[in-house]
Chains A and B, each alone.
Chain A
Amino acid sequence: MSEATPVKLPALVPLPVAAAFAGGVVLLAAAPWLLDLSPYSHNLVTLAFMLIAGSVAWNWMGGFLGQVSFGHAAMFGVGGFVSARVLLSGPVPAPLAWLTGGLLAGIFALGAHPALRLRGPYFSIATIGMGEAVRLIFTYWEDFTGGSSGLSLPIDVDMKRQLYWWGLGLAALVVAATWVMRRSTFGLQLLAIKADVDAAGDVGVSATFYQDLVFVLSGAVVGVSGGLYASYFSFIEPNDMFGFDRSIAFVLMTVIGGVGTILGPVLGAVVFVLLRQYLLASYPQLYLGLYGGLLIFIILFEPLGLTGLLRRLGGQVRRRLVPARAAGEPP
């Protein structure tokens, strides 16, 4: 074993991927100038950025750690309300308010620590309960959240315009972090915990520490995106921010896109935003039911969601290309 065998370590971030990613981000950043986006599209894209950041962060827990949370709205709400309160308290730079919201949301996520004794569906059910408890507490805590009438922030058109780039920045940062995480030994340990938490402990992985750490990181990102959301819409209300719908949305986006993949939550969030806009406009009574149907369909036929579908299509294209090259050979 002392004999050093040459081993090629895979690059953490291959150059073509990094280049494609940077190019995509630059194009998106230039889009408001190039395309003259209508307020409606601007709105939709900005919302998509916030949800991308949130669902990618949800995926750290649900996809990499294997702990499916149905309570992420709690951190979204804490981030949103804390940032709103900080912004209302005086002349504070908005990014500082968002960061404060994210930080507190991250710490708040540690409240789920006792649920770490549970895994799988048991953990998920516990998060439903905790999420609903948090929603009720914040709805009745009128001094802080304004109760059912919510909180209004002064409308700032310039800030609204800028939030497109803040949202893009957050989403890009979080996606890049996920890429590095997935390929680092940190991500490897998360996947080991997902596969078998006891066996991971038996080879030295401190499962509790890593799970707590991911709770904090995931909660903080979701909190920051809640802060951006509050600033963008200038009005937040506990039943919306902490609503079960919102927790479900994080699950849906990731499942639609592909749980445990890097690109999945991004695709899922985009599809979710577009679909929601269309369904809300056309079938306001049916739209939740349609989501439910979609969820069942995906879990039954393509557990890796859109990412799985793309991989399958990619595989088929490759298979079709290979025989074409070998066509000259005798059968």
Chain B
Amino acid sequence: MTAPLLSVRALCKSYGGLRALDAVDLHLATGEILGVIGPNGAGKTTLFSIIAGSMAPSSGQVLLDGSAVGGVPAHRLVRAGIVRTHQIVRPFANLTVVENVTVAALHGKNRAHGPARVRAAQVLEFVGLADRAEQLPGLLTLAGRKRLELARALATVPRVLLLDEVIAGVNPTEAVALAALVRRIRDQLKTSIIMIEHVMPAVMSLSDRVLVLDHGKKIAEGTPAEVVADPGVIEAYLGTASGAAAP
């Protein structure tokens, strides 16, 4: 196996007595989509916040291309190629859609390649928001704002894209379209992706591998088919079958 693009080793995060993450390991190969699932409060978003540099780990390591990036602030990780989106979309409400993306296009790998605004317009084309460029984000539908969140992340030309529930919350038609967009990001832009998602059909069809977190611990990892058959995963989601006839 070739060296992974991103790996996380024995990552821990405690808030006082609460262990939000407990010795989590993961690795992401170039061009891979890794799904992260788990019940509410499992530590998924904490994991993202640490990988993206929004918070420092209590212990453990994050390695990008073999060099440690744990605790490096978010804006510098963007330059290194790690960028995240937020579960609750956070557009810059006072800037137009294209200005939102322009801010991001000023940073990251491609920052010297032509005017940021031109590159921002290209990214908007890619995510299907070109006709909304001059609007304020408040006028977009939720699905539109999720696309904007994606566009802003893509404008930095990431190597590792962390997607925090980009599909959840939109109507089924839009969910299918957003899932297709995630696939295009990987296939056409060759971006490696870790996605937290609650919409199971989307995770299962998009992910090459799935990692399951529960109470801050990794309880399973494998192909989507392996993970859904895992007794530990079923227990975490549905509880134990107490009183039911178990084989």
Stretch from A94-102, A108-116, A147-155, A189-197 that touches the partner:
A189-197
Contact across chains for B117 and A7 when beta carbons are under 8 A apart? yes
Contact B93 A195 (CB under 8 A): yes
* B92:A196 contact, CB within 8 angstroms: yes
B54 contact set on A, CB distance < 8 A = 198, 201-202
Q: Are B86 and A188 in contact (CB under 8 A)?
A: no
A205–B99 contact, CB under 8 A? no
Whether, in the assembled complex, B108 has its beta carbon less than 8 Å from a beta carbon of chain A, the answer is yes
A45 at the B interface (CB under 8 A): no
A200 touches B78 (CB 8 A): no
Q: Within 8 Å of chain A (Cβ to Cβ): is B116?
A: yes
Residue from A3, A202, A205, A206 whose CB has the most chain B CB atoms within 10 Å = A202
Is B107's CB under 8 angstroms from A203's CB? Answer: yes
Q: Is the CB of A185 within 8 A of B106?
A: yes
CA distance A204 to B74 in the complex (A): 7
Give B80 Cβ to nearest chain A Cβ, in Å: 10
Q: Which segment of B18-26, B34-42, B149-157, B209-217 sits at the interface?
A: B149-157
Closest B residue to A66 by beta carbon equals: B94
Most-contacted residue by chain B among A3, A4, A191, A199 (CB, 10 A)? A199
What's the A-B contact tally at a CB cutoff of 8 Å?
Answer: 97
CB-CB < 8 A to B152: which residues of A?
203
B118 at the binding interface (Cβ < 8 Å): yes
Closest to A205 in B: B75
Interface centre among A2, A192, A198, A204 (most CB of B within 10 A): A204
Tell me if B73 and A203 are in contact (CB < 8 A). Answer: no
Interface string of A1-18 (1 = CB under 8 A from B): 111110101000000000
What is the interface size of chain B, counting residues whose CB is below 8 A from a CB of the partner? 41
Contacts of A1 in B (CB 8 A): 122-123, 125-126, 188-189
Least CB distance, A134 to chain B, in whole angstroms: 30
- Is there an interface contact between B93 and A4, defined as CB atoms closer than 8 Å? no
Contact call A207/B75, Cβ cutoff below 8 A: yes
Contacts of B108 in A (CB 8 A): 204
Tell me how far the C-beta of B11 lies from the nearest C-beta in chain A, rounded to whole angstroms.
19
Tell me which residues from 37 to 56 in chain B have a Cβ below 8 Å from any Cβ of chain A. 52, 54
Question: Which of A1, A185, A201 has the most B CB atoms < 10 Å from its CB?
Answer: A1
When distances are taken between beta carbons in the complex, the residues of chain A under 8 Å from B123 are 1
Secondary structure at the B interface, as helix, strand, loop or mixed, is helix
Q: Kindly state the separation between the CA atoms of A190 and B125 in the bound complex, as whole angstroms.
A: 25
A202 with B189: CB separation less than 8 A: no
Q: Is the CB of B106 within 8 A of A202?
A: no
Task: Please count how many residues in chain A sit with their CB below 8 Å of the partner chain's CB atoms.
Answer: 25
Interface string of B101-123 (1 = CB under 8 A from A): 01110111000000111100111
Interface string of B60-83 (1 = CB under 8 A from A): 000000000000011110110001
Which residues of B are found within 8 Å of A202, using beta-carbon distances? 52, 54, 74-75, 78, 83-84, 86
Do the beta carbons of A195 and B122 come within 8 Å of each other? no
Indicate if the CB atoms of A5 and B155 lie closer than 8 Å. no
Residues of A within 8 A of B153 (CB): 203
Please, which residues of chain A bring their CB within 8 A of the CB of B107? 203-205
B133 to chain A, nearest CB (A): 9
Cα A207 to Cα B52 with chains together (Å): 16
Q: Does B140 contact A (CB under 8 A)?
A: no
By a CB distance below 8 angstroms, the chain A residues around B125 are 1, 3, 5
Q: Report how far A1 CA is from B129 CA in the complex, Å.
A: 13
Of chain B, the residue at the smallest CB distance from A189 is B103
Q: Which residue of A lies closest to B122 (CB)?
A: A1
A191-B94, A204-B79 are contacts. A4–B122 as well, Cβ < 8 Å? yes
Complexed CA–CA distance, A9 and B75 (Å) = 26
Within 8 A of A (CB), among B113-170: 115-118, 121-123, 125-126, 130, 152-153, 155-156
Interface on A for B, CB 8 Å cutoff?
1-5, 7, 9, 185, 188-189, 191-192, 194-196, 198-207
Give 9 nearest A-B pairs by CB, closest first: A204-B107, A204-B78, A203-B104, A195-B92, A199-B90, A7-B121, A201-B74, A192-B103, A1-B126
B residues in contact (CB < 8 Å) with A:
52, 54, 73-76, 78-79, 83-84, 86, 90-95, 99-100, 102-104, 106-108, 115-118, 121-123, 125-126, 130, 152-153, 155-156, 188-189
Extra A-B contacts (11), CB below 8 Å, given A188-B95, A202-B54: A1-B189, A4-B122, A5-B121, A5-B130, A185-B103, A188-B106, A191-B94, A192-B95, A195-B95, A203-B103, A203-B156
Q: List 14 A-B contacts (CB under 8 A).
A: A1-B126, A5-B121, A7-B117, A9-B115, A188-B103, A195-B95, A199-B92, A202-B52, A202-B74, A203-B155, A203-B156, A204-B75, A204-B83, A204-B107
